[in-house]
Structure 1
């Protein structure tokens, strides 16, 4: 305002690319030349008309609070550094039965891709393994023991134990961050060696992913070809849930060595569907044959449909998925 000597009134809640899909209305008052300058500065920041895209990605609703961070610190930092608006589904707060995994990112294409990568890196990475049974009433290891505390601090991971039954064994749970994968893997290997000794190399490690059930067939590929390829390439076992099991219908299990499980998890996350949307001017005509060619070449689905009309604004929306 001081730079252009104008008065600017912003909406109380400015959310570009959020569920309303409406551009913000900003009121600028002042001399004609000053208003023009202020408008150019605002539009250079918002850039709602040109080269702006919206990407919709799946992030398990159980991890939304972890990604957002305390007081929104994590996601605010991502938005500031990428110049994007990131929107988490409001419906999850009120709807206890049906949760949405969909997260929307709006901004310039390069910024959107950077934000997508950053969000994936903020996800937690949890690895688990079962301790071998040495005998009846085997005590659970103490997570506060000097050795385990040293491993936790060295590799920046948290370690917890869950007893399998009153008499036998325990599950070891190692929790870290996706952006610290190497340390999580090394820390898990150290724990295995410390707790299982010579048996460490024979103990399988597991992890799980919460993936919306409607994406399972897409990710598995025709006759399960995609999953078979990932298992062959990594050596990990991947188990999709029985569709008839309502309690675990979205949980996908991975098992194998530390390296194979982490690699298979990475491949699976790369297979999650993405939807990219952007506006195009109504007068632009796109040849159907060109769209068909693109879909075949890039193995994507593209649709073009008229955008809901707003006052003084007409256009089309192109969607790629």
Structure 2
């Protein structure tokens, strides 16, 4: 069976001459007349006494008389010229049997389309791909001849089953196959769409490895052997034998050819069936070549006299049963009856099969062909694609039962069909079985496809799939989200599918009425928004129950707070949230109050009474340094007016206990470092010399130039003098 068949045609050719196109491109092919299956006709090329008179092409179409008209005048129009283009079109067909992979790709989509686009980019050729129901692939390739050959080779490497073969060629002939700088080898690889590995000069091996499709390997081997045969020069010869007589020379499974080579000692290279060449190359010793050539020509002459032909019409789908696995059935027919069966190309729509052989054997061969064609029955059952998994059954249960009841019946799931092949009786039985399953699911099951915005998927699925799993369990349906097509597919019992669709549609309608809003809030305020034990955020959520408020965790390191819910509620919640943030910001005014360490206990009061009273009455947060900490600063946080009040009350406690005065002196910030000194040594010395005065400089971000001095009242005059 051919792995791939190539058709070629020139495109955009402008013919402006009136010359006979057939005279330029070869002899006209005479169409063969169709023959009825019921009454096959035969012609005996060796017996012409009862044959109908035949006419040659020249008899039917005599040549026109010579042109004797006067010469064309000098002012006549110049002769027309033919304008052609270098662009060509080729069709490459890869059968289902020879296809590397059989997964269901839809006419060039998915991985197949991506591969073709890459090949087109690399080679410059335009490629279109189409798939057949029998898993075959057809490629339309357009471009220059060199681009087409390169693209064809790459396509076959990716899509056709690759095989390899070792061909023994004398070492001294390898350089001829390589050609100058390897040009001949590269051209051979392009033309045959194969990969050819020739051993290096340092290796002693004669074997050349050819990898590719079956057809490509055959073509490459033919060309390599032909190149090798030509190197024998004085001991090689050629003879032209019509292609239709090659099977009689080769014999079933090469039996005749092997015998001829053993008897003569010559190498006989007959082109494989897929290569349309008549020439047979014979190489070896002179006597052996002459002997082999004589025997080959004798077989040809004998079969030419004895052979008759008969043509029959057989459904295209049954041809492969006549051919058999790897052509085994054709070989068996040739061995048993001595008749060659000629099949049309696999990609041809023709259904005519021609039998060629002795007249007395044609009847028996015809019977065998009919038997083989009808030995297997093929049936296609209409079954929508979604029913295929139910036909197969859970974990293949239905298929196992079918195999037990109808053994040796092959089942193929196509697009919207199921194909059965096998023994006619068992195929009929399997057809009833599968039809019952399909009809049952068509009657009770259905499916719907809903187009959904992908942003809704996570809300429809629910946390850990809770929403979808509930519908599956309660309604006994399958729900699949087809993300690449923005679809949700619901499949199962009709009532369940209808109910699931209603619930999902209700959810989708609700989501379509919702909106999402991102609110940027300084992450340092997030804890304040949540409040103690979540009190503040809980209050906001209770007020807007249909709004989802998502505050990022500290690890997320983001300022974005997300709101989602009904549009109106989200807008209101957004306003209240910003109001809360403003209140928190206003309540976050901070003042540091330096209080002598010995007075902290009086600020706290007995049992914390004083500090608690100040906190409650001023609604502020007051933080004092730990007991063992030498820091004297008390930090007050809250609304500005409340913070100032708390500060005043704390300072009042200190002033009542000690004659302490405060003084603010305006000093330009540029002098701060000079006053403080290295490591704060200078300012520490000043404070010590002045009897323990406290000097506090404003922070760098306060934009203040006032330095605060605190000390005993009697020290103040000396401080000012200093």
Q: Same fold (TM over 0.5)?
A: no
Q: Choose 1 or 2 for highest CA Rg.
A: 2
